[in-house]
Amino acid sequence: MKRMQAINAERNSPSLAASRDGVITMIQTTSATHDNTFLPNPPSDDDIGLLRRADLACYFQLVHPNWSFLDENLLVEWFQACVEQKVPSNNYQSYFVQMIWNQSIWLTFDGGLIDANFEHLFTIRRTQSKIRRFWKQMRTLNGQSDYRIQNTHEIKAELDQWKGMIPLISSNTDKSTNCHPLSMLMLYNYCICCLFQNELAVPNIDDHAVLLTAASENARCFRRIQEHRPMVYCTWTTLLEQFTVGIILISCFWGTPYIYRSTAFQAPDTLQALEDCGSTLSRFANRWKDAEVYYETYTLLTSQTPISFPDNSDFKFPDQLKPQISGLTQTLEERGVSMAVLAMIGRIISSPTSTREYP
């Protein structure tokens, strides 16, 4: 009896009430996570100290499902380590990346072997960390092309090897959507997009060919998942990822003159991906008013994109529409959209492609 009274007292304590309020606030707030593709906006120090495991599971499931495969105990331990070591809130992402990079926890967990799905997902998180480190090094090296080409090929080889294991590792029956083959394929393609697209380097013809395939497949996989499970991945972070994929997709058309285009540019899957991106962003815009700017930007850019000859054969964005797109871009920048996305939009509206730019 005394034990039950103690439990009830704990449940009704102000600390747990604050914890619940903190989690609800985090879930309902569309935080600025645009340039943070690894973790959502971190909770405050007070919230971290109060969060229960159940709250953490709810938080990561609803706000950032890509992390829902991690064990709750592990998340609690890492958050507490952040607090104990007094890690600044804006450095949580780097801290978590370092934890993944330095510890081989994807091999064993709690003294026992983990399942293949967990290990496979954790492996690509490690590769994502490597991609971020690569572009960070590129910034210090002022974008040296030889270094970029070598590392891009090496990391892509890792990702291709990871993709090759999807048929053996993924599960159509597992309760976790993250283990579904479409989800894993979507994750692979988004990593490819992050690897080949950054504000520090302008993609060449070959890069655009890779990006076109990756962005197209990512968009189509997401729509197929949404058709069967509409509420899965219905998060602000996913909106930003799909917006990024959409901009990458249309930037491939702007960055590749007709004469250099492969048949993939007119393939039914590619054209379907353009439509799927619009449908996805439209659905998010109907759900959240703050998401309308992403749909409007994508729609405006797509309407002027040189998709098939002779559409916009000059590859020049109309001057009369530049004030409108500039206003939308300014709003996106205020929302914290990544520099990579803003750079792509900037190249579309101000740097027309010409066949003279290529050998």
HEC letters along 16-58: HHHHHHHHHHHHHCCCCCCCCCCCCCCCCHHHHHHCCHHHHHH
- Judge whether residue 46 has pLDDT over 50: no
Q: How confident is the model at residue 73 (pLDDT cuts 50, 70, 90)?
A: low
Asked if 294 and 243 touch (Cβ cutoff 8 Å), the reply is yes
The C-alpha atoms of residue 182 and residue 229 are separated, in whole angstroms, by 12
Half-sphere exposure of 151 toward its Cβ, with a 13 Å CA cutoff? 18
- Judge whether residue 33 has pLDDT over 50: no
- pLDDT of 88 reads 61
- Judge whether residue 128 has pLDDT over 70: yes
pLDDT tens across 273-295, in order?
A: 999 999 999 999 999 999 999 99
How is the chain split into domains, by residue range? 18-103, 202-357
Question: Which of 119 and 217 is assigned the larger pLDDT?
Answer: 217
- pLDDT of 54 reads 38
The C-alpha atoms of residue 42 and residue 48 are separated, in whole angstroms, by 9
The C-alpha atoms of residue 193 and residue 273 are separated, in whole angstroms, by 15
DSSP H or E run through 112: strand 112-113
Q: Write down the H helix ranges in 103-177.
A: 116-140, 145-164, 166-169
Asked if 90 and 84 touch (Cβ cutoff 8 Å), the reply is no
Helix 53-63 × helix 14-28 angle, to 10°: 10
Three-class SS of residue 105?
coil
Mean confidence (pLDDT) of the chain: 75
- pLDDT of 337 reads 92
- Judge whether residue 91 has pLDDT over 70: no
pLDDT tens across 254-276, in order?
A: 999 999 999 999 999 999 999 99
The token pair at 285 is 């815009």
- Judge whether residue 299 has pLDDT over 50: yes
The CA-atom distances, in angstroms, between 358 and each of 91, 231, 329 are: 41, 44, 28
The token pair at 162 is 């990871």
pLDDT tens across 190-217, in order?
A: 999 999 998 888 899 999 999 999 999 9
* Amino acid occupying residue 241: E
- pLDDT of 81 reads 66
Q: How confident is the model at residue 18 (pLDDT cuts 50, 70, 90)?
A: very low
Q: How confident is the model at residue 317 (pLDDT cuts 50, 70, 90)?
A: very high
Asked if 180 and 171 touch (Cβ cutoff 8 Å), the reply is yes
The token pair at 291 is 């998401």
- pLDDT of 99 reads 55
Three-class SS of residue 204?
coil
Q: How confident is the model at residue 336 (pLDDT cuts 50, 70, 90)?
A: confident
- Judge whether residue 159 has pLDDT over 80: yes
